[in-house]
Amino acid sequence: MADAGFDWLCVDLEHSVIDYYEAEVLIATIQSKGIKPFVRVGKNDDLIIKRVLDAGAEGIIVPMVNSKADALKAVNAIKYPPDGSRGVGLARAQGYGFDFEKYALESNEKIKIIAQIEHVDAINDLGNILSVEGIDGTIIGPYDLSGSVGKPGRYEDSDVKNILSQYEEISKKYKKPMGYHVIKPDHNLLLEKIDAGYTFLAFSLDTMFLGTICREEMKKLQKIIQ
């Protein structure tokens, strides 16, 4: 995947059994290919965030940011003082202590903070979330967002379309990058979001890519040999 042409890859700690050691190995592998490693943490929690940053993550996707307070909490956990309260560790990210000064000088600016917008409450407070200094952009979690209005996965429903329209309108007003997780591994769906102005796009996931090509090729094969 790191050789496939992506700009960034995300290690998901929210909906997987990946542990911290595995995350560090994946981060190092991604970086070895010159690709930016993001980590979606399992919770807006300073300890979880601190550990994956020390492992070398260059971007953090924080789930369920539903308010300005949630956004401030995330920024505070990710940035070193005076911009935040991240604790100092001497791990892989800091060259085990030998590169700490350089890392500390650059990390507050270089590490990207993405708030995941996946609840109608977040849409209702989106202007305040986007006004928080340090939030570099947001990304829609489409299934959870639609579920928060009682219509999970019904992306063509008028209520779901309405809250997405609100998201786009407010994001453009604040001139913050819009993001979306396109689940189906179909580049045409990605192009639709690009045309709509989305610039931070998560394209499917490893299991969907693998499962889709397996099923498609097996169907072709079965038609020939049956």
Enzyme catalytic residues: 15
| E runs forming strands in the chain | 8-12, 36-40, 59-62, 112-117, 137-140, 179-182, 200-203
Distance from C-alpha of 210 to C-alpha of 161, rounded to nearest angstrom: 30
Distance from C-alpha of 163 to C-alpha of 165, rounded to nearest angstrom: 5
Contact predicate 51/2, CB 8 Å: no
Distance from C-alpha of 200 to C-alpha of 155, rounded to nearest angstrom: 19
What lies within 8 Å, CB to CB, of 64 at 6+ separation is 44, 70, 116, 118, 119, 122, 144
Query: DSSP of 2-68, one letter per residue?
Result: TTTT-SEEEEESSSS---HHHHHHHHHHHHHTT-EEEEE-SSS-HHHHHHHHHTT-SEEEES---SH
Contact predicate 59/8, CB 8 Å: yes
